Amino acid sequence: MCSGDMSNLRFNSLINLKLTQESGQTSQAPWKYNSIENMDKFDELIYLKVPSINNQVNDETISLGKLPILLKLSQDKSNLNEFSYLYEFPKKVNKREFSLDINNFSKNEIKIIEKEIRDEISKIYDLNFDLEKFYNFLLDDEKLAPSLDFCNGLRLFIAKDPFECIISSICSANNSIARWTKSIDKIKSNWGEKLEFESGIFYSFPKPNQFLDFYETPIEEADADGHSYEIDCYTHNLKSCGVGYRASYMKKASKMILDNEVNISDIFNMDYDEAFDLILKIPGVGPKVADCILLYGFDYEEAFPSDVWIKRIISHLYFDGEEISADKTREFGMEHFGDYAGYAQLYLFHYARKSGLMDKIKK
DNA sequence: CCGCAGGTTCCGA
DNA sequence: TCGGAACCTGCG
């Protein structure tokens, strides 16, 4: 369709895009990845607020409120100090023709849209975080320092949407990355808005009110349908997405959010402890998932998500191998790393994975 | 076929 | 307040 002028759309900051995308951060399922020659490319959908849009196909004006936009990021592997990006408008939304190009917008509107895209990328990749300063902190800690050999340019990968992050994080609990990713993909393709771009088809993440209507099991779905087919034909239910017993948690979480028992915009204004206590009330959310949500969904960088691996790593590095509880690990991390806890957790985890430390401390 | 990984919940000391 | 079993699914 159309996209921006490549020469202007560029960031100059230290980041390793591929590393950041693929470091297993549980904020959202990974973006689409294509490697072209020496370039790493990532495609992903974001939503932006825009003014009303003139749909040229049916000659009507649509007020979407938010416009889905496909982002296409690329980075030359040999230069981690910059990356470029393009954006693309959809040609179909839920099978409706949707013709938009850059000429639909005034110069000023384009300026607004491109500014929003920039802000969004900056937020998602935490580009305002001062990595150099963090590296000074890191090098002062002899246990932490070796991680830099494996993590140069690694940044936090902040969720596009806090609700998606909450549901994804619930799904990630007691789960493997592979299964968790598949489940989220199925949820999106089952119920998300279908968006067709020149570069491919994407699905949005469903909204909280949609979750309330989802069937939990194939049986439930078949019952509602009068059992017209074999039971395994019923796939539009959460269990069939492979989420297991987390299905009811997801629905309850959505309900709490809709009922304002958990108010997403309030959380942004809370202090960490208050936000932590509130999020813990959501079923399926324990301390580890709560910290993931706060770190990746709400950018509370003082959170120190403590799973079994971080527990083992901290025990090994800082407690002479003596086994400490997940709770103790979390306390230690927050105490020891302060506002850098989230980054320290990220760097330690990736370092252990890449250095072979994980295999060594596996019980 | 079975064993295992993974965080939260729930149950019973 | 704590330890430990149960939970669901995919992978080896």
Indicate the range of A57-61, A203-207, A247-251 predicted with least confidence. A57-61
What pLDDT was estimated at residue A6?
45
Indicate the range of A63-72, A80-89, A249-258 predicted with least confidence. A63-72
Instruction: Check if A129-158+301-363 and A162-285 are the same fold.
Output: no
Q: What is the mean predicted confidence (pLDDT) over A90-97? A: 79
**How many Å from the CA of A221 to C1' of C8?**
19
* CA angle (A119 as vertex; A124, A73 as ends), nearest 5: 60
Q: What is the mean predicted confidence (pLDDT) over A309-326? A: 91
Give the pLDDT band (50/70/90) at residue A239. very high
Closest residue to B9 (CA, C1′): A284
**CATH number for the domain whose boundaries are A162-285:** 1.10.340.30
DSSP states of A267-335 = HHTS-HHHHHHHHTTSTT--HHHHHHIIIIIH--TT-----HHHHHHHHHHHSTT----HHHHHHHHHH
Give the pLDDT band (50/70/90) at residue A331. very high
Which nt has its C1' nearest the CA of A309?
B6
Any strand B atom closer than 7 Å to A286 CB: yes
pLDDT at A51 over 60: no
Give the pLDDT band (50/70/90) at residue A65. low
Q: What is the mean predicted confidence (pLDDT) over A118-138? A: 94
Q: Could you tell me what percent of chain A has a pLDDT over 90?
A: 58
Beta bridge partners of A39: A36, A76
pLDDT at A101 over 60: yes
Q: Could you tell me what percent of chain A has a pLDDT over 70?
A: 89
Average predicted confidence (pLDDT) for chain A: 87
Higher pLDDT, A321 or A55: A321
Cα–Cα distance, A333 to A305 (Å, whole number)? 9
Q: For residue range A16-28, what is the model confidence (pLDDT) as tens digits?
A: 988 888 887 766 6
A162-172 and A246-258 helices cross at what angle (nearest 10)?
160
Any strand C atom closer than 7 Å to A176 CB: yes
Q: Helices (DSSP H) in chain A: which residue ranges? A: 17-21, 107-124, 131-139, 148-151, 162-172, 177-191, 208-213, 218-225, 246-258, 264-268, 272-279, 287-292, 298, 308-318, 326-337, 341-355, 357-361
Indicate the range of A81-95, A316-330, A340-354 predicted with least confidence. A81-95
What pLDDT was estimated at residue A1?
43
Give the pLDDT band (50/70/90) at residue A2. very low
> Which residues of A are catalytic, by number?
288
**How many Å from the CA of A242 to C1' of C10?**
9
Q: For residue range A188-220, what is the model confidence (pLDDT) as tens digits?
A: 999 998 888 888 888 889 999 999 999 999 999
Domain A129-158+301-363 -> CATH class:
mainly alpha
pLDDT at A54 over 60: no
**How many Å from the CA of A269 to C1' of B2?**
49
Give the pLDDT band (50/70/90) at residue A231. confident
Which nt has its C1' nearest the CA of A285?
B8
**How many Å from the CA of A54 to C1' of C10?**
47
pLDDT at A30 over 70: no
Give the pLDDT band (50/70/90) at residue A4. very low
Any strand B atom closer than 7 Å to A358 CB: no
Q: Which nucleotides of B are covered by protein (CB under 7 A)?
A: 5-10
Q: Where are the domains of chain A?
A: 10-127, 129-158+301-363, 162-285
What pLDDT was estimated at residue A232?
83
What pLDDT was estimated at residue A35?
77
Any strand C atom closer than 7 Å to A177 CB: no
**How many Å from the CA of A22 to C1' of B9?**
31
Give the pLDDT band (50/70/90) at residue A126. very high
Indicate the range of A92-96, A115-119, A169-173, A225-229 predicted with least confidence. A92-96
pLDDT at A57 over 80: no
What pLDDT was estimated at residue A201?
87
User: CB A198: neighbour CB atoms within 10 A?
Assistant: 12
